[in-house]
Amino acid sequence: MAVEREQTMELTRAVDGTDDSALEDNAFPRSFEAFYTRELQSVIGLAYVLSGSRFGAEDLAQDAFLVAFRNWERIALYDDPGAWVRRVVANRATSRFRRRTAEVKALLRIGTRRLEVPEIAADAASIWEAVRRLPTRQAQVIALRYFDRQPVAEIARILDCSENTVKTHLQRAKHTLAQRLEKENRP
């Protein structure tokens, strides 16, 4: 036990450059860097066993060490800071598992529903293609007004602009569409 303690103290001095008593009685380094170096591999191993994912394990471990780092003045005084970090990893692994389970269930529920895309008449398809080539705001205004049948006031609210701005975009879009469609329909 004394040999292990002396080796740990040497490691701590090498990592953080301390000469004095860098270890508490329970052999945990007082500097965060030494603590991190000592505990990292075993905490990643624990996270891997709990998560089943190498990348997830690294994320869990880093998250736990980040919390420890931010609170190191308090955590360093604990009898066993390593146990505290492991508890954080265990709690976060459980939270991630629950969240992923809920996400999978939600995706399965959504996946069983078939979303219906509204049919657009063949003769209108070329018009909507021309609308998509308009400047973004003009295309949005045209789609909201003529496809979604929204009044000007509602379009202004949706797009967070004034009604006059909506009217201007509508006028410009109609003018541009009329010119483009006229060109396309010329013999």
Q: pLDDT tens digits, residue range 58-95?
A: 999 999 999 999 999 999 999 999 999 999 998 888 77
Residue 133 CB contacts under 8 Å (≥ 6 apart), including other chains: 139, 180
Reduced to 3 states (helix: H, G, I; strand: E, B; else coil), residue 93 is: helix
Task: Please report the pLDDT score of residue 29 as a whole number.
Answer: 52
- The whole-number pLDDT of residue 23 equals 40
Q: Collect the ranges in the chain with pLDDT lower than 70.
A: 1-29, 112-118
163 and 80 both lie in a single domain: no
Same domain for 38 and 106, yes or no, is yes
In whole angstroms, give the CA distance from residue 90 to residue 45: 12
Which residue segment(s) compose the domain that 151 sits in? 122-185
C-alpha dist (Å) from residue 26 to 68, 101, 124, 128: 18, 39, 77, 72
State the total domains in the chain.
2
Residue 143 neighbours by CB distance under 10 Å: 17
pLDDT of residue 27: 47
**How far is it, in rounded angstroms, from Cα 23 to Cα 29?**
5
Residues 38 and 105 in one domain: yes
pLDDT of residue 98: 74
Q: What is the CATH number of the domain that holds 172?
A: 1.10.10.10
Could you tell me if 101 and 139 lie in one domain?
no
Helix axes 32-51, 81-112, angle to 10 degrees: 40
67 and 95 in a single domain? The answer is yes
For 117-144, give the DSSP string: PPP--HHHHHHHHHHHTS-HHHHHHHII
Residue 117 resides in a domain: no
> Could you tell me if 31 and 54 are in contact, meaning their C-beta atoms sit under 8 angstroms apart?
no
- pLDDT given for residue 151 in this prediction: 94
